Amino acid sequence: MREAVIVVAAFAWRPGPRDYNEKMTSQNAPANAKRLLKALIDRGNPVAPDGRISQVAAQTGLDEGETRRAIAYAKAQGWLEDAKFGHTKGWLSITPGGKAAVKS
């Protein structure tokens, strides 16, 4: 006679690497925003299109998710705004408050 073996597996939810990374990215958003703004200012790009901002962010070591959160944080703080004039309309512009935040 054959014996039946029953295996019961219990899975408890625990944060995986993605959850951890997202949480850390959110916590690092203020520092990453300042780092990105400083890099843009240092490179002479206080007004820049999305592509240039992504390029500078990558050069400073930020990944796409970190860049998005840094930009969102900077906008929420009033450090970045949409440029409104001329050929730069629709680009992102560092505000005087953003320049001051980088220096603090």
CATH of the domain at 76: 1.10.10.10
Q: Is the pLDDT of residue 25 over 70?
A: no
- State residue 85's pLDDT score: 84
Yes or no: say if 33 and 58 are a contact pair by the CB < 8 Å rule.
no
The answer to whether 92 and 80 have CB atoms below 8 angstroms apart is: yes
The answer as to whether 57 is a domain residue is yes
pLDDT in tens, 67-102: 999 999 999 999 999 998 888 888 999 999 999 999
pTM beyond 0.85: no
Task: Return the number of other C-beta atoms located less than 10 Å from residue 50's C-beta.
Answer: 12
How much is the average pLDDT of 19-36? 75
Domain range enclosing 57: 32-103
Number of domains present in the structure of the chain: 1
SS3 92: strand
Q: Which has more confidence, 104 or 20?
A: 104
Higher pLDDT, 3 or 88: 88
Residue 69: which of 22, 102, 104 has the closest Cα? 22
Q: Cβ-count burial of 37 within 10 angstroms (0-12 exposed, 13-18 middle, 19+ buried)?
A: buried
Whether 65 is in a domain gets the answer yes
